[in-house]
Amino acid sequence: MTRDNDLALPRGDRASLAGSRATASSLFQTELLGKAMLESLRKLDPRQQLRNPVMFVVELGSLLTTALYILVCTGYVKESTPWFVLSISIWLWFTVIFSNFAEAMAEGRGKAQAASLRQARKDVAARKVLDNGAAAETGVVGCARFQTVEVSSSALAKGDVVLVEAGHVIPCDGEVVEGMASVDESAITGESAPVIRESGGDRSAVTGGTRVLSDWLLIKITSSPGETFLDRMISMVEGAKRQKTPNEIALNILLTTLTLVFLLVTFTLYPFSVFSVKLAQGGLSGAGAQPITLTVLVALLVCLIPTTIGGLLSAIGIAGMDRLIKANVIAMSGRAVEAAGDVDMLLLDKTGTITLGNRQAAAFLPAPGVSAEQLADAAQLASLSDETPEGRSIVILAKQKFELRERNLQELSAHFVPFSAQTRMSGADLEGRSIRKGAFDAIERHVLSLGAVMPEKVKEDADAVARQGGTPLVVADAGRVLGVVQLKDIVKGGIKERFAELRAMGIKTVMITGDNPLTAAAIAAEAGVDDYLAEATPEDKLALIREAQSGGRLVAMTGDGTNDAPALAQADVAVAMNTGTQAAKEACNMVDLDSSPTKLIAIVEIGKQLLMTRGSLTTFSIANDIAKYFAIIPAAFASTYPVLDKLNVMGLASPESAVLSAVIFNALIILFLLPLALRGVPYRPVGASVLLRDNLLVYGVGGVLAPFIGIKLIDMLLVVFHLV
């Protein structure tokens, strides 16, 4: 299987890096902006607002103040000046609209992506094979032997078999039952290079909406129209089916509780105020005492309830999904994204994730009486026609070490002996030499059959290589054993640092390999993983996951093969490769369109970022309230107790300007924090304590201080422009 295994930097990172850069530039694209503005007005519909209790209360407050404004203008109610009531009302409406705008912006970006996906989903003509391809043994070779009938793709059902030839679009998700073809999957993956799809093995799954570029495929449909991968992807991207995730629900409960508490605080403040007026009138200073006005009460309520996080909460969730999509991962549920942030154990396949896809020659260990150069020369000759990566690496190593140039086998009139399952050797015959390379026992059998013996040193060398985690390849020229070529796994560059980061994040890494324990231990040590599972069978993987989960751990893994499916289904976060089989894809809760094995790490970071953004903005929102009290309380009771002006530490110009500034700040902060909500609070792989301390400083202490400055500035502007 070909994987992009030659990359030093895990591919997922590049994708997410590119994604975040794209985010920054596309954040305020004018087209998106216009649509979002329109959408934010449409979302004023109370039925939509009801989903978000915090903003629903704000909308009720806006309606109430608007009604008050009309009543004040018509003279039915006497309280504040009409201009003041109007200003408060307008800014309360803005608070709701800004929150709607945040959500619309987050949704808008997904919608644009969904639109392009939808193009691929168009109804296409499909060629349904009659009798499921079993008939028509007419002797005609190729796809022409099938009898087909043209139907619409929407008329296909599970189990139907269709024929797709070059240039045609695959009508529905399915599994290749016959044929091999190159397929353009760029509609889904964004990757322009075609991929090979063939029957059997791990590359048999095809996705509806992708296009066959060459040859033909006989495909058995595995999902009904409307339930295809593409359909699911569109609904996820659009957020149409977006359900609140468990943590989002829990946070919403806390926010609703705070809203209730502040409703209670403001609701009871009116009788307190009326009573205080009565008390003050009994005293000296209470001549002009008036109870708190309804406008100020509503303003106070809106300032106190957590509108900042309430307004941005759904935008944060959608943006988190969006970031995942930017990283070319499709999550089947928001729950999985959250769980990714909690993962504390990663199961990683050795091959492709930790090591480069194949083993490479690392050293020549000659037998007694043979020079290393002789061994290298023979090994290179034996490998010249060997196109396997192992063979290529021997040629290259010989060239690097002994300047041995590649020679043309034809010029040498050599005869290449390919690998066969019987001999389990390969090599070349030339100029009377008969060079063979193969596993130790295969060569041993070969030389013994020629009446020669295996030197003791070669045996020792071979054992030593195996012990260090490599694969010994023994080279012999006829009956003469020349020595051992050490093949070893090459650990990807930078992967060790990555694991160190994961460890700092509190995530345990476990390497899964089919290798023997010796080999596995050596690679595990070199790569710096915490643990390994050697000679892993699907049952072993499942048992490992179950054991970890019973200890309370959350396990994430990637997989592509059908035999990974049970383990994938058991894992809390299961990422399937898009190149993987249908069974793997169905067992997972995320699909990586890049099929990059290291993507898991990026997914974990995105999950953490999502939670952190929620937590940080909640802290910020609550911390803001302190300053708002200092602005509003003295203003609200200015006529009852003028002495409370001592609490006006910001020196706000007048009671009206104080209340209005607080309300304006409260509305604007939503817009101000929108980019952060969409981008997410950056995650750094440091321990939880450090992260908590730093975020607490920025969002907690910052949340206390920022509104003091912001409200004061707005107040100054209001005074300068004579708005109060």
Partner 1 sequence: MSSADYSSSLLQIAAYIVLLALLCMPLGRYMAAVYEGRFAPEGSVIYKFEGLLYKLCRVVPTREMNWSQYACAMLIFNALGMILVYLLQRAQNLLPFNPEALAAVPADLAFNTAVSFASNTNWQNYGGETTLSYGTQMLALTVQNFLSASTGMAVLVAFIRAFVRQDVQDGYLGNFFVDLCRSVIYILLPLSLALAVFLVGQGCPQTLASYAVYEPLETAALSSGAADGKNQSVESAKVKLALGPVASQVAIKQLGTNGGGFYNVNSSHPLENPTPLSNLVQLLAILLIPAGLCHTFGVMVAQPRQGHVLLLSMTAIFVVALGTCFWAENSGSWQNPAWNLIDGNGLALPANMEGKEVRFGVVNSVLWAVATTAASNGSVNSMHDSMSALGGLVPMFLMQLGEVVFGGVGCGLYGMLVFALITVFIAGLMVGRTPEYLGKKIESFEMKMCSLVILIPPLVVLLGTALAVSLPVGQGAVFNTGPHAFSEILYAFSSAGNNNGSAFGGLSGNSPFYNFSLGTAMFLARYWLAVPVLALAGALVGKKRVPAGNGTMPTDTPLFAALLVGVVLVFGGLTFVPALSLGPVVEHLLMVNSR
Nearer residue to partner 1 within complex by CB, 525 or 692:
692
Nearer residue to partner 1 within complex by CB, 361 or 638:
638
Query: Taking a C-beta distance cutoff of 8 angstroms, is the pair 378, 475 a contact?
Result: yes
Query: Taking a C-beta distance cutoff of 8 angstroms, is the pair 400, 448 a contact?
Result: no
> Around Cβ 496, how many Cβ atoms within 10 Å?
15
Nearer residue to partner 1 within complex by CB, 596 or 613:
613
Q: 266 is written with which tokens?
A: 């403001």
Query: Taking a C-beta distance cutoff of 8 angstroms, is the pair 205, 582 a contact?
Result: yes
- Buried residues in 257-268 as b, exposed as e (16+ CB within 10 A): ebbeebeeebee
Closest separation between CB of residue 307 and partner 1, Å?
Answer: 14
Beta bridge partners of 152: 125
Pairing of strands 531-533, 508-512: parallel
The CA distance from 338 to 308, in Å, is 21
Nearer residue to partner 1 within complex by CB, 314 or 579:
314
Given the structure tokens 């309430």, which residue do they identify?
A: 310
Query: Taking a C-beta distance cutoff of 8 angstroms, is the pair 496, 457 a contact?
Result: no
Closest separation between CB of residue 278 and partner 1, Å?
Answer: 8
Which has the closest alpha carbon to 526: 394, 361, 354?
354
Nearer residue to partner 1 within complex by CB, 94 or 699:
699
Given the structure tokens 């903003």, which residue do they identify?
A: 55
Beta bridge partners of 577: 592
Q: Cα angle at 525 between 497 and 594, to 5 degrees?
A: 50
Written as one string, the DSSP assignment of 463-489 is: HHHHHTT-EEEEEEETTEEEEEEEEEE
Closest separation between CB of residue 647 and partner 1, Å?
Answer: 7
Give whole-number Cα distances, 339 to 13, 306, 428, 458, 605, in Å: 20, 25, 54, 51, 11
Which is it for the CA torsion 497, 468, 465, 516, positive or negative?
negative
Q: 162 is written with which tokens?
A: 């269709």
The three-class DSSP label of residue 299 is: helix
Nearer residue to partner 1 within complex by CB, 52 or 380:
52
- Buried residues in 413-448 as b, exposed as e (16+ CB within 10 A): ebebbeeeeebebbbbbbeebbbbbbebebbbbbbe
Given the structure tokens 């992807």, which residue do they identify?
A: 233
Spell out the residues 6+ positions from residue 514 whose beta carbon is closer than 8 angstroms to its own: 534, 535, 536
Residue type, 111: K
Which is it for the CA torsion 502, 506, 511, 517, positive or negative?
positive
Nearer residue to partner 1 within complex by CB, 294 or 622:
622
Q: 240 is written with which tokens?
A: 């149409």
Given the structure tokens 């920054």, which residue do they identify?
A: 24
Closest separation between CB of residue 583 and partner 1, Å?
Answer: 29
Nearer residue to partner 1 within complex by CB, 40 or 245:
245
Closest separation between CB of residue 60 and partner 1, Å?
Answer: 20
Which has the closest alpha carbon to 364: 492, 479, 470?
470
Residues noted as catalytic: 349
* HEC-encoded secondary structure of 677-711: HHHCCCCCCCCHHHHHHHHHHHHHHHHHHHHHHHH
The CA distance from 335 to 615, in Å, is 17
Nearer residue to partner 1 within complex by CB, 148 or 256:
256
Spell out the residues 6+ positions from residue 187 whose beta carbon is closer than 8 angstroms to its own: 116, 117, 119, 120, 209, 210, 211
Closest separation between CB of residue 297 and partner 1, Å?
Answer: 10
Nearer residue to partner 1 within complex by CB, 287 or 720:
287
Closest separation between CB of residue 98 and partner 1, Å?
Answer: 23
Closest separation between CB of residue 445 and partner 1, Å?
Answer: 50
